[in-house]
């Protein structure tokens, strides 16, 4: 069973930055497609960024150039660097990992992966 634990959320002003972390276990989960999703109150969950087993990345259009997904396999940790934050980025951010696909290239990834953390809250004030 894959376990994912997010941290790093907080409250910042618009234009600020945060770095989210996701500790993953077991270590082998880092080989598969992993991603960050978010859900704001009253809105549907949406995929934000993905990184696959070969470190290829994909981003939601609205975060391109502002957010960066990365991972440190030696530390079994997934990261999401959030820069130039906007109030509309406020949401509960979830780490997610797939059970079997090492690639994040298929469109189905935007609908969700197999394993989920409990989330970390990001609040951006104007």
Structure tokens at 5: 């634990």
Provide, rounded to the nearest whole percent, the portion of the chain with pLDDT above 70. 100
* Mean pLDDT in residue range 70-80: 96
pLDDT tens across 42-66, in order? 999 999 999 999 999 999 999 999 9
Task: Please report which confidence band the pLDDT of residue 107 belongs to, taking 50, 70 and 90 as the band edges.
Answer: very high
Strand, helix or coil for residue 32: coil
Residues near 74 by Cβ (< 8 Å), separated by ≥ 6? Answer: none
């Amino acid at each position: 069973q894959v376990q994912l634990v997010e941290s790093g959320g907080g409250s910042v002003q618009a234009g600020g930055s945060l770095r989210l972390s996701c500790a993953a276990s077991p270590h082998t989960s880092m080989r598969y497609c992993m991603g960050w999703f978010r859900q704001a109150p009253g809105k549907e969950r949406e995929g934000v960024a993905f990184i696959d087993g070969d470190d290829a990345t994909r981003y939601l259009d609205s975060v391109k150039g502002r957010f960066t997904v990365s991972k440190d396999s030696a530390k079994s940790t997934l990261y999401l660097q959030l820069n130039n934050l906007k109030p509309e980025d406020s949401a509960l951010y979830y780490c997610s990992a797939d059970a079997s696909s090492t690639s994040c290239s298929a469109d189905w990834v935007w609908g969700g992966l197999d394993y989920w953390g409990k989330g970390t809250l990001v609040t951006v004030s104007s």
